[in-house]
Each structure stands twice: as C-alpha cells, then as structure tokens.
Amino acid sequence: MKRLSGWDAVLLYSETPNVHMHTLKIAVIELDPDRRDFDIDAFRRVIHSRLYKLDPFCYQLVDIPMKFHHPMWRENCDVDLTYHIRPWRLPAPGGRRELDEAIGQIASTPLDRSRPLWEMYFVEGLANNRIAVVGKIHHALADGVAAANLLARGMDLAPEPATGRNRYAPDPAPSKAELVRSAFGDHLRQLGRIPRTVRYTAEGLGRVRRSNRKLSPQLTRPFTPPPTFMNHMITPERKFATATLALADIKETGKALGVTINDMVLALSAGALRKLLLRYDGKAEPLLASVPVSFDFSPERISGNYFTGMLVALPCDIEDPLERVQLAHDNAVDAKESHQLLGPELVSRWSAYFPPAPAEALFRWLASRDGQNKVLNLPISNVPGPREHGRVGGALVTEIYSVGPLTAGSGLNITVWSYVDQLNVSVLSDGITVDDPHEVTDAILDDFVELRRAAGLSEKLTVVESAMAQA
C-alpha cells in the first residue's frame, strides 16, 4: 500500500461527471505481412507478459473511511485484461477522421474507480494494414513524464530482462482499522513538514517581491483571463482531432527564428486560436494558457505527478506571425522565470493539506458553473516522446499521439508529443466548444505555413509517414 500524494489526490478530487481526469495515449501500429493475425487476444498476451514492469496497471484505489485522508493505492491487485483491454472497430475507410471520432467516444466516459484506473482499446479497421491502441489512464496515476516512461516500458525499446518476473501475488485488502491508523500516522508526519513548507513559500514570495518580472504587459495582476468561446461549463461529451508535422520542419523554423520547439508550439497555438477567436467571438485578445512543467524527469519514474502549471500569455491579438512568435518566446521566458522565482513545487507541497471532502465539493461547484474560468483559458502541453521507434509484440509503432484532460470551465486542450521524426498534435474539446476540433488542427497547420512564408522558408512541408493521413 502507498498513499497518493496531495497533488495526485487533487487530480482525483477534481473529477466530476462532466470533467473527466483521464489522459489518452494513442499508438498506431503497422502489422507486417506475416503478423496480420495479431489480434486482441495476442495483444492481451503481450500486456500480460509485461505487467511485472507496468506496475501502475496493478494499482487499485482504496478510499479512507470518513475521508479522513487522501486515498491509497493497493499496489498489487488482480487485473482482468478481458475487461481492461477492449475491442473497437472503425468504419471504412479507416482514416484519421474515423480514428479521431472513435477516440472522442472513448474519452467521453470516466474510468471505473472500483478497478485499476486504466483501459486500453484495440482498434481494428485502420487503413494501410494498421491497428491502433488507445490507452486511457487516470491523471492521478501518472503525469506526462511518468506516462512516457510507462509507454516506453510497454514497447520493445530495450532488451527484455530476465524471465520469471512476470508473476506476482495480489496484496490482501487492508482493514478499515489499518487504513485509519495509517492515515493518522501520515497526518502527524505532514504536520511535521509544515515549517519547511511555510519556509519554502515565504522564500518564493520574497523572491517574487524583489523581482521586476510580470506575467505580461497585457495580463497583469490578478491574472484574470478574458472570457472566450472556449470558457464555459463543459459537457461530458468529448471530441478529438489530430495532425502530424515533420519535426525537422519545426526545428528548421525555430532555428531560423531563434526560438525553441516549445516556443513554436505556443506560437502556433496562439496563431490557430486567433483564427478561432475571430471566427467565434469576432475579436482576438491575449489568452492565458497553463503549460505543465515537470520537476522530476527521472527515466525510472512510471507513476505519480511531479509537475505544476506555468501560466503563459498567448499573443493571440498579434496579427503578424513573426511578431507573434517573438512575443510568445518572450512571454514564455518571463513566465518561466516568474515560475522559478515562486518555486515550482509550491502548489504540490500545499496540496498535501487539502482536506478530501471540501476539495471534492469545491471542484463539483467549479465544474457546475456556467461561466468563464477565472484562472486560465486552456491548457497547452508539449512533451518530448521516444526518439526511436518502438514495437509492441514485434509490430512497429509508427505514430504516437497524446492528450491531457479538459479542466473545469475550459473546453479545449492542445497537447503535442514528438515521436522519432514527427511532431504530433492532439486537440480535445467538449461537445459544444467547436463544431469540429479539426478546425483547431487545420488552423495550426495553416498558421505554420504562414509562419514559414513570413520567415522566407519553403511553404512546402516535409511529408511524414502517417497511416491516418494516407487514408
């Protein structure tokens, strides 16, 4: 047994009937001519053989009586792979649109908390002799870095360790008395950590007061984001869209403009959102994005959440693409410095003291409000994925997409994952924010072409292999 950290628990408490807190990982897999018989039963056997190194797949949530403390993970429990790994078949022609629509349907339902908090969907019917595996995992279980490491363990990115380790004995369920005693002891330990947490907070506030850094000229205290078409009480329905760019094109453009890949992601998002703001709202103002920043990049970590959200102003009001890139870069630098001054672990440290019942009530209230999000407009993530191709059961993984959850009052999420030579963009929306989430991905692609034109680079983009794009 181990207890959820305060930050893990907050991600659990923030889930409501219309705010689902699972993340999605999508792998497109090419079947060799001699592996066309690779079906869901074969895939279940592959996952079963790897459970010994996919520890979080065996975690089961255990609530504490009377919500006396944060829940715990029962680390070794029985896993019914027939339940957790499910079949799905796409309609013809089995291209990007069909797969994206299926992923939206998969994302629209919450995970069952009485079981380990993950599901996988074995998707057949994809064009060009491909299949897809859609993984749905609760954010309380793993953040982006942990999920990337978990994904690498699930693929054949390293030689198999010695056999004989793929069996385990399920842990017995704890008694209520054991749970209460453990919770009481942990509360005492947390009380002992309060002086260090207060000191960490005071030091951060002191650094901020002495600094002349601001969030941005447009968005100053109290950092209230503007109301937009994407900020409202979200619906339980989810819609999903993807796009693929060549990582080489992104790097070439970033090098020509003197900015990073992360700056490029923010600038392209700002340009795309500008188009949508003008279309839906008739005006484009600077937006406030929450950009996850990890403070534990250990390649061995496969569970838990060690990140915080850095608030970055998006220059959606700027028409000129080159000026927009430069301002996105400057705003990101300012936000990063302010974030470091305050202390990257500030929120996660204080979250240990969030009482479960009031926290759940607060998030239910926030999720039921039909108004703008007072903290941010949307989350935007950029996560570096594997730099070499992986395999599952010997079959080549050609593409990987990922997306985080929607948050209360924010009907859009943009997540970018790089994989080998690809920069893969995923967009998640609720049922009413946009007519079609491909409006967002199309706008990102259009903005990239406009940016390269303005930078004097070729408007013809490198073609990267994408089974979904070919269909």
Q: Can you tell me the distance from the alpha carbon of 87 to that of 460, in angstroms, rounded to the nearest whole number?
A: 38
Query: What pLDDT is stored for residue 162 in this prediction?
Result: 44
**Domain of residue 163, residue span:** 1-470
139: annotated active-site residue:
yes
Give the amino acid at 62.
V
224 DSSP assignment: P
Query: What pLDDT is stored for residue 375 in this prediction?
Result: 82
Query: What pLDDT is stored for residue 164 in this prediction?
Result: 45
Q: Under a CB-based contact definition with an 8 Å cutoff, are residues 176 and 65 in contact?
A: yes
Q: Can you tell me the distance from the alpha carbon of 173 to that of 167, in angstroms, rounded to the nearest whole number?
A: 19
Query: What pLDDT is stored for residue 125 in this prediction?
Result: 94
Q: Can you tell me the distance from the alpha carbon of 387 to that of 345, in angstroms, rounded to the nearest whole number?
A: 28
Query: What pLDDT is stored for residue 71 in this prediction?
Result: 96
Supply 100's token pair: 């994206």
Residue 345, helix vs strand vs coil: coil
Cis peptide bond N-terminal to 56, omega within 30: no
pTM: 0.92
Q: What is the mean pLDDT of each run of 10 residues along the chain (471 residues)?
A: 94 96 95 79 91 92 94 93 97 95 98 96 94 95 88 69 54 86 91 93 87 55 78 96 96 97 97 98 95 88 91 95 97 89 89 94 91 84 89 89 95 96 97 96 97 93 62 41
Residue 121, helix vs strand vs coil: strand
Q: DSSP E strands: which ranges in 213-304?
A: 238-246, 287-294
**Domain at 137, CATH number:** 3.30.559.10
Query: What pLDDT is stored for residue 59 in this prediction?
Result: 95
The answer to whether the Cα torsion of 13, 192, 296, 392 is positive or negative is: negative
Which of 70, 84, 139, 232 is labelled catalytic? 139
Query: What pLDDT is stored for residue 468 in this prediction?
Result: 52
Query: What pLDDT is stored for residue 35 in this prediction?
Result: 65
Instruction: Using alpha carbons, select from 376, 288, 297 the residue that is nearest to residue 344.
Output: 297
Query: What pLDDT is stored for residue 144 in this prediction?
Result: 84
100 DSSP assignment: H
- The domain tally of the chain equals 1
Query: What pLDDT is stored for residue 223 in this prediction?
Result: 55
